Structure 1
Amino acid sequence: MGDQQAKNALYDVLVEAAKALGNGRRAQLIEVLGQGERSVEELSGEIHQSTANTSQHLQRLLRAGLASSRRSGTRIYYSLASPAVERLWRALRETAESHTGELGELVRAYVGDRAELSMITRDELLLRLRQGDVVVLDVRPLPEYEAGHIPNAISVPLPEVKSRLREIPKGSEIVAYCRGPYCLYADEAVRLLADEGRVAVRLEEGFPEWKAAGLPIEASAR
Structure 2
Amino acid sequence: MGAFTEQPIYAQLARMGKALSNPARLRLLHLLEQREQTVEELAGRAGVGLKNTSAQLQQLRAANLVAVRRDGTRMYYRLADPEISRFLGVFEEFAEGRLADLRDAVAAHLGDPAELWPVSVAELKRRLDDPGTLLLDVRSAADYADGHVPGAVSVPFEQLADRLAELPTGGKVIAYCQGPYCVVSPKAVRLLRDFGYSARPLAGGFTAWQRSMVTG
Residue equivalent to 1:98: 97
Q: Deviations over 1:186-219 (max 9, x none)?
A: 111222333455442211232232233349x9xx
Equivalent residues of 1:37, 1:147 under 8 A apart: no
Residue equivalent to 1:169: 167
Which residue identity does 2:59 align to in structure 1?
Answer: R
> Across the two proteins, how many residue pairs are aligned to each other?
212
Normalised by the length of structure 1, the TM-score is: 0.79
Equivalent residues of 1:41, 1:51 under 8 A apart: yes
Which residue identity does 1:123 align to in structure 2?
Answer: A
- Please identify which structure carries the higher helix content: 2
Correspondence 1:123-142 to 2 at 5 A: 123-142=122-141
CA gap of 1:14–1:182, structure 2 versus 1, over 3 A, is: same
Normalised by the length of structure 2, the TM-score is: 0.81
Q: Return 5+ residue gaps in structure 1 as ranges.
A: 218-222
CA gap of 1:96–1:121, structure 2 versus 1, over 3 A, is: closer
Which residue identity does 2:144 align to in structure 1?
Answer: Y
Correspondence 1:36-75 to 2 at 5 A: 36-75=35-74
Residue equivalent to 2:193: 194
Q: Return 5+ residue gaps in structure 2 as ranges.
A: none
Q: Deviations over 1:10-37 (max 9, x none)?
A: 4322332221111011111111211222
Correspondence 1:1-222 to 2 at 5 A: 7-165=6-164, 168-171=166-169, 172-214=171-213
Equivalent residues of 1:17, 1:65 under 8 A apart: no
Measured in 2, the distance between the counterparts of 1:37 and 1:204 equals 23
Measured in 1, the distance between the counterparts of 2:77 and 2:188 equals 28
Which residue identity does 1:156 align to in structure 2?
Answer: V
**What secondary structure sits across from 1:150 in the alignment?**
coil
Measured in 2, the distance between the counterparts of 1:205 and 1:106 equals 15
